[in-house]
Structures are given as C-alpha cells and as structure tokens.
Structure 1
C-alpha cells in the first residue's frame, strides 16, 4: 500500500467500532514480535490533560538526550501527528510500509478466527512497530479510552504510570460514576510499579490507591504545595518548583495557559522524578529547555493577539470548565465572541453554564463527526436557556468574514470537539490568522 491507501485502510476499520479488551491487540502484537517490549514506557491515562502532560514529559526526555517516542490521539490536522519521535511525525513511507505489514498480520488473525481489530488497535500496533524500528529509548504512551481494557495496556515494560484529571466521559464504556471511571483508568497500573496522580478529589484518589495496593504499586499524588506560579502573560506561565530534593529548578516557563496546566506540569515533574530515580539522566537544564520549547496545538492556544484568537479543544464538562477559568484568568471580565461545536454524547446542555455567561455573541458550528450536534440544534439549545445573540453557521469558512471584520481589541474563541478544532486550525492558518507560527 502507498500512503493514501494506508490511510484509507486505517480509517476503513472505524466500522469495527470501539471494543474494550486486550485479546485482539495481544494477538496482533504477538504476530508483530511484541515490539512494545523494546523500550521503556511512561503510560498516561486520564480524562483531561493527557496530551499536555504527555507532551511535557516527552519534550523533557528529548531535551535530556533520549530518543523519545510519543503516541497521542486524536490528531488535529494530520494523521501522522499521532506517532512521533523527537517531535517528528512518522514519515509517509514508513506509515505505508508498516500498515501493509500490520494488514498482513490481521489477515492471519482473521484466518485464525479472531475478530478484526478496531481502528485504534490498528493504529496502536503501527505505532509500536514504528517505535521499535526507530530504536527509541522511551515511549510516552497516551491511553485512548479508559485504561484497563485500552489497546495501549498490552504494554508490560512500564517505568511509571501517570493518571491525569478524571471526570465524566465515555460513560457508556467506563461507567456512570467517577469511582467506576477512576477504576478503569487505574487499570494501567502494573505490578510493583510507580504511579503518579494529578491532584484531584479524594474519591478518585482513593479508588486509584485501592488498585495500586492490590498490585503492590506505590502512589504519589502530585502535591500543590510543591509548585507556585510566579507570573504569566499570553505567551505562557512561569513557576517555581519548590520540591528541591530531586530537581533544584530555577524559575521555569511553560507555554501553556490556564491554572490546570500548572497542575499538569506538576504531575509531569513528579513522573520525571521517578525516571531520574531509576538512574536516567534528567537534569534541571533539560527540564527548563524541554518545557520552554513544548507546544501542543489546540489547547488554549493563542493564535493571534490583535484581535485575540484562541483555540481550545475543551470537549467535555471538565475541559470547558478549564477553558472558562483560563478565560477569566487571562482576559478578566472581557466578554468573548465564541465559535462553538460539540458532539451530542458530550452532554452539551451541562457545559453551557460554564461558557455562555462569558460571551457577548455565539456562533455555533457542526463538528466533522457522525456524532456531532448540528449547529442549528446547538443554537436552539443555547437560546432556550440564555438571552444571547446566537447564530448557527453551515460551514466553517463562514467564520472568516467575522474574523476579518473584528475589532483589534476583541477576544474570539473557537471551542469544542477536537474533530472541529483541527479543521478550524487549518482553515485559520490558510487564511493568515496565525501569528509567528
């Protein structure tokens, strides 16, 4: 297969749905020679913050001189974002070659009577094989959904497990309480391993501890007393790391905005402490460099400053709440012009109280996904509850005239499903709305 045929094959497996379980991925990776056993794993689960935390850990390990893989989902603008080594996406030739190999192994599985792997299982297997061929030292591995039965959980060589912020999401698969969801996320914990947890409610931490105790694993909850934000602007946030016994850091900067990102970098540093304790070289200088250079598109990303244009993939209630706090923190009481689109199964009605009061006008969009809420339906939902000017748009490109006519002092935000945010980012880039990118 060539690149285009490989992408078509991968996306054609979407029809096999999302099936939680490790039987298929176990057999597929066996047929590939278990490539995931070739490198050390930092495994990252959670509802929100997985991508930001994973990118921070990856960039610090890279700055420390290690060849580091990064596996994330979903992608924003290009499929190859999902599989990276030292910030370089998998090349098209390698993707085509490995996808062809994986398809051959799937044919063997089907002859054996196995079910066809899902799209996520296929992509996971492709990533594992590519990382083996690249001879990486570490893989920062982001869970797709849940943890216990997620395809990524076929790994055994876990150096540290990281569990980020947990909230309600994918409840049809993971359960209808935070404890049930936390139990599924905690499924990535391995026997006698190290676990780092984002600071959050005790009910969640207690559930994670219960799983850790059963597996003889140690749990470290990132302690808010160990970090202090010192200043911030639209380029990022500066902080002091107060736990000096492992990392005696000078004032450091992250390019991410929002209080939750301070918690995410705290969690990333707690994980990197375990990497250092295992004998790997992670220095204060590599931490400062890695964090300063770390970028993650679509997460409260400031694309332009006059007018301010911000892009945020807050796609569930927890993510929208983080977005609203970041707006208040960075823009005060200033009202925003909002372009908003969500999936129907993300409970749009529940997120409205966090975001609509921040706005002076709302444009609704339809994300490019079969589960999308139609723009006109979202507009009706908003006007049912709020007296605010709301206009549904049929096409993303209808946002461009609004941006061109905006006052230089306006604050404009595109928020919602990542399936929408990636397309919007490409559109804005094409039309010249990204500064210094």
Structure 2
C-alpha cells in the first residue's frame, strides 16, 4: 500500500487523503478532497476543466445532455424533466447543486443517488488527474469542477440515455459548459443574482446564461422579462439555434391545495404536480415545453410520460411541508425573485394570514430587498446563521428586521428555532427560507423528529 498523509477538512477533523498513486479512497476521504478549502473557490473559466477532462478521457463527449441554466427554478425544472424522461423509459442522470442533506444527492441516476463506493472510486481517478495537473503547474480545478468531473465519469460508466445537467453559476464560463452541443439547452427564470460575477444588469446576466446556447442547437426558455428575452433571442439567431419560449398566459391553474396543484398548459390536458407554489406550475410548463421539443426531435416522450413524470416529481426544500403540528414549510428562496415567488405562493395558500418565519441568509445576497418583499407577511421572525463562511450572522439579520418594524430575535441553532416555534406558535404557519445552506438542516431536524407525519 502506498503511504498516506494527514488532511484537515473544513470542520477540523483529521482525515486521511491518499497520495495520488493510490486509487482506493474511501467515502470520507473522497468528500474531504472534493470539499477541501484549497479548491473551494468561485473562478469562472473553462481552462482547468478542459485540462482535467482531457486527462480523464473526456467522458462528457459521449453523453446525451439536456443543459439547464437560469437564476431560479433550475433544480425543480431539472427534476421535472428527469422524471418525465424516466417515465418515458430512458435511463436518466440528474446533476444538481447544492445538496440539501447528503453530498451524494448531487449526482443521481434514475432517481438513485451515486453510491458512496462509486463516489470514492471515481473521485480517486479525479484526484490522480489533479495531481498530474499540479505536477505540470497548471491551474487547479475548483470544488465544483471536481464534482462535475466525477458526475461525467459516473454517467458515462452507467451508460445513461440522457443526463439532465444543471449549471453551477452563470453558464458561459461554467464548468458544465465544457460539453459539446446538447440535445436541448433550457433556460429558466433569469433575475439579479451573483452580480459581482455575472454583471449588474439583467441583460448582462442573461448573456452569461445564454452562453450555454451552441451552434445549431435547440433552446427552450422560460418566459423572461424583455431585457433578458432579447438577449436570448439574439444569441439563438447568432448560433442558428431554434427557440421555444414558454408562454405563461397559456397556463390555466385549476386547483391549488396543500396536496398539490392541477393545471393545463396550452391544451385540454390537465396535469398534476405535488410541488407547491405557483412558480412550480411555471417551472412545470417549462418542462412540458422541453418534452414537446424532444418529441419534435424524434425522441419517444409520450403525453402519458409527461403527465406521469410531472405527478411523480418530488424536489426537497422547495416550499416543502416538513411539519404539520404546527405547519412548517421550508423554501430555498435566496434572492429577490425567489422570495417574491415564495410570498405570492404563501398569499395564495394562506390568504389574509401572516406567518412566523425562520430566516437565515448569506452576506453576499440582496437580503435588504428580500426583507422588504416578505415584510408584509411577517408576524415575527427567528433568525439563524447558516453554516457557511459567507453567512450573515443571525444577530445582524435580527437587528435589520427590527429596524424594519419586524418582531425579530436571533436564536443559536436550527433546533432552538424549530422547538421554539413548536412550543410558542402552534397555531401559526411557520416558514423557513433565505438560503439552501441551512434549510436542509431544518428539514433533517423536523423529519428526524417525525414532524412530517404530524407527530
């Protein structure tokens, strides 16, 4: 056996990382490597990814991909499309980020997460390639590029019929954009986010998202605001790519309850989704448009597969009920567009009713606008500090909320926030939102306690 050296992960635990000659990482070592602070940076650009995938044999070139970019709705739309393809009989990979509870959630095939053993084995291959890059003094990959490489290896090994591939940040310079022309490029709702990296206008951000559109490709886009729509249309013209734009006016919502939503889109067919919130109907319409485009391209995606796929889709952390006594919902809304959609959905589900909120945000987000949007629905708020180096402290957030006239207090942990709500606000609707970096902890705590079943 080759020798091993100590490695200190972000949480301070000492783990063993194997030298690059050895290809037998275990799961803990693999996650520690993929999450190592030295790789945990945001650096748009494709050069390191190109070198890395060259060393790994470019498995992405053999994959049939549906590529998804956008500001909000990427994960939900990807989940819908993936489930539709599975119901159509295709073996389907699904690559998303970030994860809610488990690292392996990010890489799935036919609904099953990559096994810890496969993650460890494939990460060992990626680790070897990174060591070769280091020896050549090449720029090293980021953490997102590393896990994306693992995903490409996995889907090629699994012989997936389709891979539904979500970008990490932007599109044009995102690690996932190393792929050749995909079967479909799908662009979900575009809004202001990551302005320090993507630009400070809607048109600039749309330009980065539209960077996934390739020559002679086929594009499906959510109904965008005019500034973003014009950029997408121009990019399609430049690349001679076809464009199907979702028309939200053709949606007819027939029923909305806590059990799900019934709607039609452009035909007499009625679809059912279990995901809550009007925005999930809009995301479903984007998935339906994608399915109809695939049908025109000759892929066997029946109307029944579309209907069944939408009905079967589950997507944790997006206006999800995780407790019933009191009613506790969680939502990953973390920018003004997402928070605006969350507010609209809460107003429709609970008319004339204010809510108790659990709120935690990252310091680089537009939390002032998020507060302004949600304030009319706030009966009170408990603030927490997400487990991220980029987090805004719960104390600071509580001060900001109180300045805005909200009854707010900071609590030390997720458990304290949930238990306080259970004890003091049993008649309220409780909603946790603000960052995907902590709602997974809310979800895990509530489900572990049996709250999801109303116990």
Q: TM-score band, normalised by the shorter chain?
A: over 0.9
**Matching residue of 1:106:** 130
- Does 1:180 pair with 2:198? no
1:275-354 equivalences in 2 (<5 Å) = 275-354=294-373
Q: Which moved more, 1:129-138 or 1:33-42?
A: 33-42
Contact kept? 1:32, 1:105, Cα under 8 Å: yes
**Matching residue of 2:452:** 434
**Matching residue of 1:115:** 139
Instruction: Report deviation, 1:306.
Output: 3.6
Distance of 2:193 and 2:425 partners within structure 1: 37
**Matching residue of 2:90:** 66
- Does 1:219 pair with 2:237? no
Contact kept? 2:291, 2:306, Cα under 8 Å: no
**Matching residue of 1:398:** 416
**Matching residue of 2:70:** 46
Describe the superposition over 1:147-190 as per-residue Cα deviations: whole angstroms up to 9, x where unpaired: 00000000114011011111111111100000000000000001
1:345 alignment partner, SS class? coil
1:310 alignment partner, SS class? strand
**Matching residue of 1:56:** 80
Q: Are residues 180 and 129 of structure 1, via their aligned partners in 2, closer, same or farther at CA, if it must alter by over 3 Å?
A: same
Distance of 2:175 and 2:441 partners within structure 1: 27
Contact kept? 2:401, 2:407, Cα under 8 Å: no
Distance of 2:252 and 2:376 partners within structure 1: 29
Q: Which moved more, 1:101-110 or 1:217-226?
A: 217-226
**Matching residue of 1:246:** none
* Of 59, 62, 76, the match for 1:35: 59
Contact kept? 1:306, 1:410, Cα under 8 Å: no
**Matching residue of 1:414:** 432
Instruction: Report deviation, 1:259.
Output: 1.6
Distance of 1:435 and 1:170 partners within structure 2: 37
2:294 alignment partner, SS class? helix
TM-score with structure 2 length normalisation? 0.92
**Matching residue of 2:404:** 385
Instruction: Report deviation, 1:275.
Output: 1.2
Distance of 2:153 and 2:96 partners within structure 1: 15
Q: Which moved more, 1:353-362 or 1:50-59?
A: 353-362
- Does 1:196 pair with 2:220? yes
**Matching residue of 2:387:** 368
Contact kept? 2:418, 2:442, Cα under 8 Å: no
RMSD (Å) for aligned C-alpha atoms: 1.5
Describe the superposition over 1:36-63 as per-residue Cα deviations: whole angstroms up to 9, x where unpaired: 1222111000000000000000000001
- Does 1:168 pair with 2:192? yes
2:452 alignment partner, SS class? coil
Distance of 1:126 and 1:253 partners within structure 2: 34
**Matching residue of 1:158:** 182
Distance of 1:140 and 1:14 partners within structure 2: 28
Distance of 1:108 and 1:225 partners within structure 2: 53
Q: What stretches of structure 2 of length at least 5 have no aligned partner? A: 1-24
Q: Are residues 292 and 390 of structure 1, via their aligned partners in 2, closer, same or farther at CA, if it must alter by over 3 Å?
A: same
- Does 1:271 pair with 2:290? yes
* Of 135, 141, 151, the match for 2:165: 141
Q: What stretches of structure 1 of length at least 5 have no aligned partner? A: 244-248
Distance of 2:89 and 2:76 partners within structure 1: 20
Distance of 1:436 and 1:43 partners within structure 2: 38
* Of 274, 286, 293, the match for 1:255: 274
Distance of 2:321 and 2:221 partners within structure 1: 28
Q: Are residues 157 and 436 of structure 1, via their aligned partners in 2, closer, same or farther at CA, if it must alter by over 3 Å?
A: farther
Q: What is the aligned length?
A: 431
**Matching residue of 1:94:** 118
Describe the superposition over 1:350-370 as per-residue Cα deviations: whole angstroms up to 9, x where unpaired: 111211220111100100001
Q: Which moved more, 1:23-32 or 1:224-233?
A: 224-233
Distance of 1:352 and 1:80 partners within structure 2: 33
**Matching residue of 2:229:** 205
Instruction: Report deviation, 1:85.
Output: 0.2
Distance of 2:403 and 2:251 partners within structure 1: 42
